[in-house]
């Protein structure tokens, strides 16, 4: 890993090391994968307006998320079944995030349990939640996350059904037999087994509640005191409903372009959501972030922080805990450099005036993707 100079280079190593079924599961998107490409490409259409002759001898990247101070606005998104990428899976990522003094979000569909991840590292952790038809299972998971010291629930709201991920269908994706969805052991909730389709699609169809609606957000608030982030918002209308529902924050997400293809890139949807939230709750974003410049652009467009998914899982596959530390560190260092070159000494000094976006009149031409 010594010669890696940016997080995108981890993917090639991961592709070589992982079985095709596993790599395709992590890398692919839904249907034509247009949104998968757009999540990345949209960042190249947002350009900088740097300010000069600012004393940037000291740069402060610290920020506060839900009252918790972290070293960087770069946090770890929930990704499922991480032990497919590396034997230490979620435990390695938890330790790396804790070492970086940032937040790790554990997937409901982890191959390590809530309790195992809580014991692995002392850092701040959020728990991502799918709502199953059996609400007793949901309630048990939330109670366990509370007891284990997790600080927030990230409620995924864009998955009443699983998107059509054709690579998984071709590969007949299934969780390798030596692994389990640890959080559901003993809860009679089935398994991601081999089928004629994607095993995960079959599992979701069997278990996830398609009737999930805003009343259920209210129900969730009655069973936990933890702040709830709604993950999967892409429109102003749903941002306003999120505020009305009293959630603690919004994550602008298209599920890594794995659900509905031809939705906008998350960075393109971000500003609409931020404006609708009117500063009443924080708005975060995930999807397509591969550079510290991308992080800066998201912050300039109003995000309170970003969540990173695929770069972390590919770094895990490439180098375990050390790989994840390196990935987070490189993104942080790139952000710090971008701040210095843009004349921003702290995260709070990054403003809308520091970028020009393609939807603005008279915006410059698109930057070429190298």
What is the rounded CA–CA span in Å between residue 244 and residue 230? Answer: 12
Q: Is 231 annotated among the ligand-binding residues?
A: yes
301 and 354 Cβ atoms separated by less than 8 Å: no
- Examine the residue annotation and report whether 255 is marked as an active-site residue of this protein: yes
Please pick, among 86, 255, 332, 354, the residue that the annotation labels catalytic.
255
* Number of neighbouring beta carbons within 10 Å of residue 48: 16
Picking from 234, 224, 225, 134, the residue whose alpha carbon sits closest to that of residue 188 is 134
Q: Is 326 annotated among the ligand-binding residues?
A: no
Q: Is 107 annotated among the ligand-binding residues?
A: yes
Q: Is 128 annotated among the ligand-binding residues?
A: yes
Q: Is 130 annotated among the ligand-binding residues?
A: yes
Q: Is 288 annotated among the ligand-binding residues?
A: yes
Sign of the four-CA dihedral 369, 62, 236, 214: positive
Q: Is 80 annotated among the ligand-binding residues?
A: yes
Q: Is 40 annotated among the ligand-binding residues?
A: no
Token digits of residue 315: 């770094």
**Residues pairing with 68 in the sheet:** 65
Picking from 293, 356, 362, 358, the residue whose alpha carbon sits closest to that of residue 6 is 293
Q: Is 78 annotated among the ligand-binding residues?
A: yes
Q: Is 114 annotated among the ligand-binding residues?
A: no
Cα-Cα-Cα-Cα dihedral of 39, 42, 44, 47, to 10°?
-130
Q: Is 143 annotated among the ligand-binding residues?
A: no
Q: Is 57 annotated among the ligand-binding residues?
A: no
Q: Is 135 annotated among the ligand-binding residues?
A: no
Q: Is 198 annotated among the ligand-binding residues?
A: no
Based on its alpha-carbon atoms, the radius of gyration of the chain, rounded to whole angstroms, reads: 20
What is the rounded CA–CA span in Å between residue 317 and residue 319? Answer: 6
Tell me the three state secondary structure of residue 284.
strand
What is the rounded CA–CA span in Å between residue 22 and residue 176? Answer: 9
Q: Is 255 annotated among the ligand-binding residues?
A: yes
DSSP category for residue 108: T
Q: Is 309 annotated among the ligand-binding residues?
A: yes
The DSSP string of 174-213 is: ---TT---GGGTTS--------SS-HHHHHHHHHB-TT--
What is the rounded CA–CA span in Å between residue 318 and residue 255? Answer: 23
**Residues pairing with 63 in the sheet:** 70
Q: Is 264 annotated among the ligand-binding residues?
A: no
Which residues are catalytic, by number? 255
Residue list, annotated binding site for FMN: 78-80, 107, 128, 130, 156, 231, 253, 258, 286-290, 309-310
Residue list, annotated binding site for glyoxylate: 25, 165, 255
Residue list, annotated binding site: 25, 78-80, 107, 128, 130, 156, 165, 231, 253, 255, 258, 286-290, 309-310
């Amino acid at each position: 890993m010594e010669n890696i100079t940016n997080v995108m280079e981890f993917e090639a190593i991961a592709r070589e090391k992982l079985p095709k079924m596993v790599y395709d599961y992590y890398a692919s998107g839904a249907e034509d994968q247009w949104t998968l490409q757009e999540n990345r490409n949209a960042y190249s259409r947002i350009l900088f307006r740097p300010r000069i002759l600012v004393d940037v001898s000291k740069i402060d990247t610290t920020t506060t998320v839900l009252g918790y101070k972290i070293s960087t606005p770069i946090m770890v998104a929930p990704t499922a079944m991480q032990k497919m990428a590396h034997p230490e899976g979620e435990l390695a990522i938890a330790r790396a995030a804790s070492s970086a003094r940032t937040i790790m979000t554990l997937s409901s569909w982890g191959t390590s349990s809530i309790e195992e991840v809580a014991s692995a590292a002392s850092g701040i952790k959020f728990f991502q939640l799918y709502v199953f038809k059996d609400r007793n299972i949901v309630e048990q998971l939330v109670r366990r996350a509370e007891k284990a010291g997790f600080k927030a629930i990230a409620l995924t709201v864009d998955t009443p059904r699983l998107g059509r991920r054709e690579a998984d269908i071709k590969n007949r994706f299934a969780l390798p037999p030596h692994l389990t969805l640890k959080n559901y052991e003993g809860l009679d909730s089935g398994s991601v087994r081999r089928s004629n389709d994607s095993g995960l699609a079959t599992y979701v169809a069997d278990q996830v509640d398609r009737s999930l609606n805003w009343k259920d957000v209210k129900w969730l608030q009655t069973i936990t005191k933890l702040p709830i982030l709604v993950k999967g918002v892409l429109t102003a209308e749903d941002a306003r409903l999120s505020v009305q529902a009293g959630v603690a924050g919004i994550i602008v997400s298209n599920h890594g372009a794995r659900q509905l293809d031809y939705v906008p890139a998350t960075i393109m949807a971000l500003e609409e959501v931020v404006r609708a939230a009117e500063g009443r709750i924080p708005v975060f974003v995930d999807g397509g972030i591969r550079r510290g410049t991308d992080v800066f652009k998201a912050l300039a467009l109003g995000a309170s922080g970003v969540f990173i998914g695929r770069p972390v899982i590919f770094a895990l596959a490439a180098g375990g805990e050390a790989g994840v530390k390196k990935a987070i560190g490189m993104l942080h260092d790139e952000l710090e450099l971008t701040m210095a070159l843009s004349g921003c000494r702290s995260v709070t000094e990054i403003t809308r005036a520091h970028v020009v976006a393609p939807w603005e009149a008279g915006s410059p031409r698109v930057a070429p993707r190298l």
